[in-house]
Amino acid sequence: MANSRVENWAPEQLPNTHRTMRDTIFQGAPWGAALTLSAGFIVFRYGAQFGEWQYLVLLCWYLALLVAGSLWRSLQLAVPAVVIPALAAVWMYSVGQTPENSWILHYFLQGLAGAMWMCGLLLLATATYILHVWLRSEPLGRWATRLTWAGTLMGFIGLGVRWRETYIGHPSWGHIPVSNLWEVFVLFCASTSLFYLYYEQRYRARALGAFVMPLVASAVGFLIWLTFAQHMDRIEPLIPALQSFWMKLHVPMMFVGYANFTVASLVGLAYLLATRSATRGGALARAMPAPEIMDDVMYRAIAFGFLFFTTATILGAVWAAKAWGGFWSWDPKETWALIVWLNYAGYLHARVVKGWRGTSMAWWSFMSIWVVTFCFLGVNLFLSGLHSYGKL
Amino acid sequence: MEREVHVGISGEMRSPSRRRLLWQYLASMRLAVSLLVLLAIASVIGTVLRQQESYSSYAFRFGAFWFQVYRDLGVYNVYRTVWYMGIVGFLVFSTATCITRNTPRMLREILEFPVRQRESAIRAQEHFLELHSELPAPVLQDRLLFLLRNSGYRPRSESHDGRGHVAARKGKFNRVGYFLTHLAIITICGAALYNADVPVRWSEWMGTLVPETNFNMPLTSIPHSAWMPLHNPAYRGSVTLPEGDTADVVFESAGDGYLVQKLPFQIHLKSFHIKYYSTGMPRDFVSDVVLYGPKGQILKSGVVRVNHPMSYDGTEIYQSSFSDGGSLLRMRSFLLGLPAMAAGKLVGRVGQTLKAGSSGYSISLKNFKMTNVVPWSSVDGHAHPGSPVINLGPSFIYVVHTPQGEAGEFKTYMLPIHRDGQSFFVQGFRETRGAQYTYVAIPAGPHGGISLFVDYLAALQQTLSGGASPTPAVLTQVFQQVAQVDAPTMSPEKQALFIRDSMLAMTQMHDYPAPFILRLSSFHHRWAASLQVTKWPGTIVIYWGCVALVLGIFILFYLPQKKVWAELRADPEGGSRLLLGAGADRNRLEFAREFAGWREALESSSGSTSTSVTR
């Protein structure tokens, strides 16, 4: 009797805190199938030219997209939304169209156009986020999210197409577009926005955009200056030191770290201002998510960023060992990477092990942006060393 | 370094001994965080001040007093000072203490997980709820088990004395992440110390190894005390080899001197070349290298490129830099004031010092460069969209010492540049090193070369020293006389242009510090490549340390440990009572949601409300 009541107890009543393996497989099936088909097509079409490294890279992409797409389902749309237009542009180039004779390439799909669309859309998104918090308007908030998505996608499309463009006209120049300040700033804006969107969606915390996006907007401003005053959008060949497949791993991973640290530090600022406003009964506190949520976003972003930053730094050291004969040469960039690492290692110890929370940790997270920015930008602008190719 | 929860203190409180306090302090979180932050701050110094420059440049910058203070603090080579290494060492020591201290407890935690837990311990969990239900205890227990299974746990249950006990946990191996990360740090630091040549540093410190400070000493006369043993386990040195040369040693810089490392093979540099992009930017630096064994047999041959070292038997050979390896230069020297017929001939290699006839002047050939790619704008000030750079061709740099010992540095380009229909040879000079070059553009005659200019100059000097004044008419007349011999076919327009450009060049040569001009007539280029040779047996250990570090971080943050304990008993007043306690050590916000969900489900299935506590 009692047992039958237990069996009758409908599982729908259960809280949806845990997804069973079956759920995951079932929900992830279309995504997995699409990825498998794409990978199969790539192997079928290009397999003859592949060596073991290419297979390994394909496998890594396959697994990473599979996991990321099932953890964050928006990616299942975002990935094709980037890949399809980028491939379309590559195809257009291959049939002899150029930005000079094709308006689609000229205004939308060429690398530069993609980056400029990203700049415009992200600036607009920033303004909309601020208005959203200011006016407490939900529709504006939804628009802000859409604009950020559009800007992010355009940024990644632009980078993808630019990768192809580096080969056009001078095949020996070809390289992944993370080789100069302009290219990494496009990557920084796009990836910071992307990770911000993840946290926004996961925590349903749209008001954070009013704090995170202004920093992205200032990076956009710098990027526009680089484009129009410094003409750094010009494609140039790689110096010998950078011609290595390690660059493809080291730099993008570094930017996963930078993007997450940036998000965390601005959420820290949001936390500080919101809690201050709460003690005075201000309007900001009502517009912002609960402090525990912001605290958790900060921790999550730092932990995720730390994982990638550590990996990227290690990959950089391995690259240095392979290319220059030493893991570590105390080059300013290396040293600052170590400083960033130590800083966040300290943060995570204090937060996880000591259980520190609240204002002091928000301050720590917020102030870390200076350390991160100096590592990312300051070293290249003010100090010299092995990483001097990132100069203006 | 782990959070400790003391549940119930039994026995009398003892005042901890001093040693125990020290032990606790060494393994404490506060110390670890302080050390991490201190190390970060200390590391800044070496990035703000350029490291390992010459002492004289520091002395110049800081003045005598501060130079000495900073030197004593080791600021010029921070990362190798005793105090910096001390902080790192202390951090490693503290980490090691922390591991030693926590290992037994954590191992116990991984291996043992009792189903029964004291009521006080259940109540002390981060999340706790107490629930009274009309359902009998076994039914309530079944529902709880069902709920936990549905949440992905594998609960275990026992009953004792009429009480039901349920326990479940996830992320049993979270603690493994702690071991991996902390052991990785110790391993990496240890292997790095080993790679940093500890045995050599040790013998250096003991005085059995003394760095040589004379950089011009021939290899054979370097004292034995500066040689490192052949079977040195780890080294990182470099050697500069001119094309065609062979070496079996590398040099490792140590303090303000160097040490010599004998190699188990000989490196022979067959050739070196630079590949260029179409823009003139270097694309690759390539050394063609052969390794010979001690008996002269070929061990390995191949190329060493940037990013593509050659490895042989545990040693790696890297392309590190390049320079001129003693190119052969043939030059003509035109004496200013004498006709070009009198030009002398000079032959020498880069690095040599030549005597300029019997004049007492000496010429040190400093460097030769095959190509000089410069922006167009620096040549004629105009923008050239499409081709922003121009290759000015070969150039060489030499220093001329006057008999009085005064020196001037010169830079001569071999090929002419073309500007506004006229060709020019560019000649740069400066009287102090580090100053900007002053450039003279000497117009080329119709047959090329600077003979016409030199002859014109000589004729002018002769005329003017005869008392004539330099009026335009005189200048033209003298030129026409010279041109009749040297270039009879020159048109009047070309002549006018040449005179104008010659006047300009002569004005530019006002401060020219030598009485002659050297022109490069031919050369035989010879490169030298700097190769770095390293042997690092600790590398593989570092790799595994890195793998452990990343894996450990992943486990720590993404496989959190969650524990659930419950006790169920029949209530004397009818129905049953449930005590449920749970906690997670990471992602607490998420776990709080999970726990709240359980509470809701339990309440709705048992038709009662609970009292719950969250700390």
Per residue in B45-68, pLDDT tens? 888 887 777 777 888 888 889 888
Tens digit of pLDDT for each residue in A243-258?
Answer: 888 999 999 999 999 9
User: Which of B192, B279, B553 is facing A306, going by the closest CB pair?
Assistant: B553
User: Of B237, B201, B378, which is closest to residue B315 (Cα–Cα)?
Assistant: B237
Q: CB count, 10 Å around CB of A364?
A: 22
A392 neighbors A181 (Cβ within 8 angstroms): yes
Determine the number of helices (DSSP H) and then strands (DSSP E) in chain B: 14, 27
Question: Is the pLDDT at A8 greater than 60, yes or no?
Answer: no
Interface of A with B in 224-253 (CB under 8 A): 236-237, 239-241, 243-244
- Count of alpha carbons within 13 Å of B273, Cβ hemisphere only? 6
Side chain identity, residue B68: Q
DSSP state of B268: E
Query: In this predicted structure, what is the pLDDT of residue B495?
Result: 87
Contact between B152 and A293 using a beta-carbon 8 Å cutoff = no
Question: How far apart are the C-alpha atoms of B536 and B542, rounded to whole Å?
Answer: 10
Question: Is the pLDDT at A357 greater than 60, yes or no?
Answer: yes
User: Of A364, A383, A26, which is closest to residue B46 (Cα–Cα)?
Assistant: A383
Q: CB count, 10 Å around CB of A219?
A: 22
Query: In this predicted structure, what is the pLDDT of residue A352?
Result: 82
Query: In this predicted structure, what is the pLDDT of residue A33?
Result: 94
Annotate B444-465 with DSSP letters as a single string: P-TTSSSHHHHHHHHHHHHHHH
Which comes out higher in pLDDT, residue B565 or A13? B565
H/E element holding B247? strand B246-254
Contact between B318 and A325 using a beta-carbon 8 Å cutoff = yes
Side chain identity, residue B558: Y
> Is residue A306 less than 8 Å (CB to CB) from chain B?
yes
Question: How far apart are the C-alpha atoms of A388 and A298, rounded to whole Å?
Answer: 32
- Which pair of structure tokens corresponds to residue B164? 């039901």
Model ipTM value: 0.91
Query: In this predicted structure, what is the pLDDT of residue B82?
Result: 79
What residues contact A283, with CB distance under 8 A and at least 6 apart? A277
Size of chain B in residues:
615
What residues contact B288, with CB distance under 8 A and at least 6 apart? B269, B270, B271, B272, B301, B302, B303
Question: How far apart are the C-alpha atoms of B350 and B333, rounded to whole Å?
Answer: 17
What residues contact B493, with CB distance under 8 A and at least 6 apart? none
Contact between A349 and B309 using a beta-carbon 8 Å cutoff = no
Contact between B48 and A383 using a beta-carbon 8 Å cutoff = yes
> Is residue A290 less than 8 Å (CB to CB) from chain B?
no
- Which pair of structure tokens corresponds to residue B416? 């002419």
DSSP 3-state of B18: helix
Give the angle subtended at the CA of B416 by the CAs of B412 and B422, to the nearest 5°: 135
B106 neighbors B2 (Cβ within 8 angstroms): yes
User: Of B474, B581, B501, which is closest to residue B167 (Cα–Cα)?
Assistant: B581
Burial of A127 (0-12, 13-18, 19+ CB in 10 A): middle
By C-alpha distance, the chain B residue nearest A293 is B589
Which comes out higher in pLDDT, residue A239 or A309? A309
In angstroms, the separation between the Cα of residue B539 and the nearest Cα of chain A is 9
Interface of A with B in 184-213 (CB under 8 A): none
Residue numbers of chain B with a pLDDT score lower than 50: 1-13
- Count of alpha carbons within 13 Å of B530, Cβ hemisphere only? 12
Interface of B with A in 422-461 (CB under 8 A): none
Could you tell me the end-to-end alpha-carbon distance of chain B, in angstroms, rounded to an integer? 21
Please list every residue in chain A whose beta carbon sits closer than 8 Å to the beta carbon of residue B44. 335, 339
| Sheet of strand B610-614: strand arrangement | B156-160, B163-170, B562-570, B576-584, B127-133, B610-614
Contact between A314 and B29 using a beta-carbon 8 Å cutoff = no
Residue whose structure tokens are 């389902």: A73
Hey, of B78, B307, B532, which one would you mutate to test binding to chain A, going by the most A CBs within 10 A of its CB? B307
Tens digit of pLDDT for each residue in A123-164?
Answer: 999 999 999 999 999 999 999 999 999 999 999 999 999 999
pLDDT interval class at A22 (50, 70, 90): low
User: Which of B136, B284, B594 is facing A240, going by the closest CB pair?
Assistant: B284
Query: In this predicted structure, what is the pLDDT of residue A356?
Result: 83
Query: In this predicted structure, what is the pLDDT of residue B224?
Result: 87
> Is residue A303 less than 8 Å (CB to CB) from chain B?
yes
H helix runs in A103-208, sequence order: 103-104, 111-135, 138-165, 181-203
**Domain-by-domain residue ranges, chain B?**
6-109+183-194, 114-171+563-614, 208-233+235-324+528-535, 328-525
Query: In this predicted structure, what is the pLDDT of residue B379?
Result: 62
B288 neighbors B274 (Cβ within 8 angstroms): no
Most confident of A182-196, A351-365, B217-231, B559-573: A182-196
Most confident of A74-88, A272-286, B439-453, B511-525: A74-88
Backbone torsions φ then ψ of B532, nearest 5 degrees: -105, 135
Question: Is the pLDDT at A312 greater than 50, yes or no?
Answer: yes
Question: Is the pLDDT at A391 greater than 70, yes or no?
Answer: no
Output the CATH code of domain B114-171+563-614. 3.30.160.110
B235-242 and B527-535: which strand pairing? antiparallel
Residue whose structure tokens are 């670890």: B32
What residues contact A363, with CB distance under 8 A and at least 6 apart? A268, A272
H helix runs in B112-136, sequence order: 119-123
What residues contact A316, with CB distance under 8 A and at least 6 apart? A246, A250, A254, A334, A337
In angstroms, the separation between the Cα of residue B275 and the nearest Cα of chain A is 10
In angstroms, the separation between the Cα of residue B487 and the nearest Cα of chain A is 45
Per-residue CA distances from B210 to B81, B402, B523 (Å):
19, 39, 41
Side chain identity, residue B557: F
Question: How far apart are the C-alpha atoms of A177 and A166, rounded to whole Å?
Answer: 8
